[in-house]
Amino acid sequence: MRALKKLPPHHAVALATLAVCQAGAWAQQTPQLQTVTITAERREESVKDVPNSVSTLAGEFLDVLNTSGQDVRGLSGRVPSLNIESSYGRAFPRFYIRGYGNTDFRLNASQPVSLVYDDVVQENPILKGFPAFDLEQIEVARGPQGTLFGRNTPAGVVKFDSVKPGKSLEGYGSIGVGSLGTVNLEGAMTIPLSSTVSTRISVLDQRRSDWVDNGFATGPTQQLEGYRDSAVRAQLLLAPSKDFSALLNLHARDLDGSARLFRANIIEPGTNDLVAGFDREAVYHDGKNESKLQTLGGNARLKWNLGAVTLHSITGYESLDTFNRGDIDGGVAGDGPGFIPFTSETADGMPKHRQITQEFRVESNGSGGFGWQAGVYFFNEDYEVESFSYDSGNAGAQDGYQRIRQKNDASALFGAVTWQATPALQLRGGLRFSRDKKTLNVLEYTNSGFAACVGPSLGIIPGDIKCTLSELAGLEPDGNLSASPSDSKTNWDLSAVYALNKDVNLFARAATGYRASSIQSAGAFNGKSVATPENNTSVEVGVKADLFDKRARVSFSAFNYTVKDLQLTAVGGAANANILLNAKKATGQGFELDLTAYVTEHILMTLGVGYNDTQIKDPGLAVSVCAACTVTDPTNNAGQALIDGNPLPQAPKVTTNLVLRYGRELAGGDFYVLTDWAYRSKVNFFLYESTEFTGKASLEGGLRMGYIWGNGKYEAAIYGRNITDTVRIVGGIDFNNLTGFINEPRTWGVQFKALF
């Protein structure tokens, strides 16, 4: 494999760390690491025995991230090869694994990374932002997961598992208070109702005050970047016998805050530096800013032990209502900051949404050398998306509107087998057949702003020329504003685990995955576009080992994948388009290293390194470019950038995470200091390469000092996030000027937590 032949210098970090650990002489009292159990293969197993590259986050470190009010984006870079970003703020996270994701900002966008929360897929990108609180564990399973998790998982799966109700009365409460008016309240309580019935209620309330001032005195939103983000989860566990259990789950979220702040002309031309005098606590906006989101969902997970087999039924329901409005041009047209040729203020919302899922799965019982599982899966989604445009110079009067409806039906048959071929060798295989059908219709469309129906390529002209639904349809080559792609696909995976000894396993895996067709509707700046299915084939090899009498644990994997007909989104450009494309091929290769070790009796270290070398391979593929940046790609006769050879967007080549925890007994309790750091190398914001829209490498760190007493019942801590106060441009808007948006600011705070 090429990934094994050409590894970058960063592998030296991992080798050096292992050497340090090996050279250290631990005292007998040095703690041992606990076994990590995961469900990446839909059953509980030790992470060491699973032939797949999987990282986990759990326990104290999840609490560290949540305390400061972090949303799901705070998980970015916390395990190797995971990146998460958003142009919507807290509402719409975009996930990337091994550099493979989707930059599409439309509310009907699909992603190749699936988020599964309590065994139910969260398909719409808005659903993927549900807060991560009171969790047993987060698992990141890399590479195609098309057999057991289905379509739209060619890059991998991020799996959240909530703490379930137990048999004893217990819980916790936590309050964190920090700078910028940050308040984080979190708590959970398990209440047994009888010997066979128990419930668990989990709540979260995160708040931050507005900390950015609008310098445009007549702007409709004068204070920005605050939020109130609340969530609740109620679970009921019924276990009337050892052969049957039912876990019922009801959850909801309510977000009221700021949309992503776009800042006009914050990039110094010819560089990727912030302009001199940049002030992140101020903007100059004449548009309104708001972000509102409500979600409601529930699921029922039933389990029957039938002797030779166990039957699982998983029923899920999700719904949402969201509205997000922002000043896209990032300033005031004709007034600045910098050159702003025209006004752009838009909003997107989903007034109606419903997702229903059902899975029946049967798995074999027993401890013989052969095991299996098989099932059927059904998915139905139906929703409407509204898009608005406004005239900021005319008191925000609405001058454009579109409403679309998209329906998605999918079904699948799947199965997997495990065979213990020899005492040391285990073989696994899986197969899944999927069908997927989408239908999109444009239900309403009007536009009376500067974008009018003037020809096959919708022009950008001044004036008050109205464009209606029928006129828009007339510009489509087939006169049809609807699309109904239908796909079917068979995915497979084969893997093997070989135990060198009781502590060291070698593994190899080959797998496929696919993403179903995607649709973007015709609009003011571009016609309807449909991207055909993409297919990923991946191979990986690796080693997982417990070292030094379980005082250290290491996992290393090297991979190579090829995506055929890769779905790409050409976002922005001077024409402000949002067009779906298929590239002939894209490739990725690299490695991941996960290492956890007690360096000494008192110091626990977690180190993760990911290397991802991605490349688009399509010599003829060209995209529109920015209006005011320095493009470094070759261009065709139409001035479009040829993107063959470019890395995938938002795909850092290197990610590194490090956590060090020092703890020792003090005055009858436990004192600790914890620091965590996440690094990512530079990224392209768009498909083409340009000087200005290349995000600089970023390193952000956190610090926490705390004291635990009362036999572990009470904890008080002080914390800091982004302690070096790093400011980075993390995304851009390229159709108008050098507009960008930035990372989260530094915060400090205190926390108190009590266990009941």
Read off the pLDDT of each residue in 255-263 and give the average, rounded to a whole number.
96
Q: Is the pLDDT of residue 18 over 60?
A: no
Write down the pTM of the prediction: 0.93
Joined together, the tokens standing for residue 464 give 């008050």
Q: Are 251 and 298 in contact (CB under 8 A)?
A: yes
What is the model's pLDDT at position 19?
45
What is the model's pLDDT at position 457?
43
Alpha helices in 439-480 (DSSP H): 469-475
Alpha helices in 437-590 (DSSP H): 469-475
By DSSP bridging, strand 467-468 and strand 425-447 are antiparallel
Query: 558 Cβ partners below 8 Å, 6+ apart?
Result: 1, 3, 4, 7, 540, 541, 542, 589, 590, 591
Give residue-wise pLDDT tens across range 120-155.
Answer: 999 999 999 999 999 999 999 999 999 999 989 999
Joined together, the tokens standing for residue 318 give 């999700």
Joined together, the tokens standing for residue 741 give 């948006």
Greatest C-alpha distance within the chain? 81
**C-alpha separations of 738 from 49, 334, 615 in Å:** 49, 15, 26
CA–CA distance, 210 with 129 (Å, rounded to integer): 21
What is the model's pLDDT at position 199?
98
CA–CA distance, 692 with 303 (Å, rounded to integer): 54
What is the model's pLDDT at position 29?
65
Q: Is the pLDDT of residue 691 over 60?
A: yes
By DSSP bridging, strand 113-117 and strand 156-162 are parallel
Residue type (1 letter), 314: I
Q: Look over the chain and give the mean of its residue pLDDT values, rounded to a whole number.
A: 91
Residue type (1 letter), 75: L
Which one is predicted more confidently, 458 or 245? 245
Residue type (1 letter), 530: V
Joined together, the tokens standing for residue 360 give 């029946």
Query: 28 Cβ partners below 8 Å, 6+ apart?
Result: none
Q: Are 309 and 363 in contact (CB under 8 A)?
A: yes
Q: Is the pLDDT of residue 14 over 80?
A: no
Give residue-wise pLDDT tens across range 103-118.
Answer: 998 999 999 999 999 9
Q: Is the pLDDT of residue 571 over 90?
A: no
Read off the pLDDT of each residue in 462-488 and give the average, rounded to a whole number.
80
CA–CA distance, 406 with 404 (Å, rounded to integer): 7
Read off the pLDDT of each residue in 377-392 and give the average, rounded to a whole number.
96
Give residue-wise pLDDT tens across range 403-435.
Answer: 999 999 999 999 999 999 999 999 999 999 999
Cβ burial 552-573 (10 Å sphere, 16+ → b, else e): bbbbbbbbbbbbbbbbbbbbbb
Q: Is the pLDDT of residue 16 over 70?
A: no
Domains of the chain: 2-755 (2.40.170.20)
**3-class DSSP assignment, residue 648:** coil
DSSP state of 586: E
Residue type (1 letter), 549: D
Q: Are 590 and 475 in contact (CB under 8 A)?
A: no
**3-class DSSP assignment, residue 394:** helix
Q: Is the pLDDT of residue 455 over 50?
A: no
From the list 211, 194, 207, the residue with the least C-alpha distance to 256 is 207
Assign 524 a pLDDT band (cuts: 50, 70, 90): low
Give residue-wise pLDDT tens across range 573-619.
Answer: 766 677 899 999 999 999 999 999 999 999 999 999 999 999 999 99
Joined together, the tokens standing for residue 79 give 């395990």
What is the model's pLDDT at position 696?
96
Give residue-wise pLDDT tens across range 696-722.
Answer: 999 999 999 999 999 999 999 999 999
From the list 513, 516, 518, 575, the residue with the least C-alpha distance to 540 is 513
Give residue-wise pLDDT tens across range 275-302.
Answer: 999 999 999 999 999 999 999 999 999 9
Q: Are 88 and 259 in contact (CB under 8 A)?
A: yes
Read off the pLDDT of each residue in 464-490 and give the average, rounded to a whole number.
84
Assign 368 a pLDDT band (cuts: 50, 70, 90): confident
Q: Are 65 and 77 in contact (CB under 8 A)?
A: no
CA–CA distance, 741 with 729 (Å, rounded to integer): 6
Q: Is the pLDDT of residue 460 over 90?
A: no
DSSP state of 670: E
Q: Is the pLDDT of residue 6 over 60?
A: no
Q: Is the pLDDT of residue 84 over 60?
A: yes
Give residue-wise pLDDT tens across range 289-345.
Answer: 999 999 999 999 999 999 999 999 999 999 999 999 999 999 999 899 999 988 899
Percentage with pLDDT > 70 across the chain: 93
What is the model's pLDDT at position 753?
97
Alpha helices in 83-214 (DSSP H): none
What is the model's pLDDT at position 576?
66
What is the model's pLDDT at position 289?
96
Percentage with pLDDT > 90 across the chain: 81
What is the model's pLDDT at position 11?
45
Dihedrals φ, ψ of 454, to 5°? -125, 0
CA–CA distance, 318 with 352 (Å, rounded to integer): 11
Q: Is the pLDDT of residue 2 over 60?
A: no
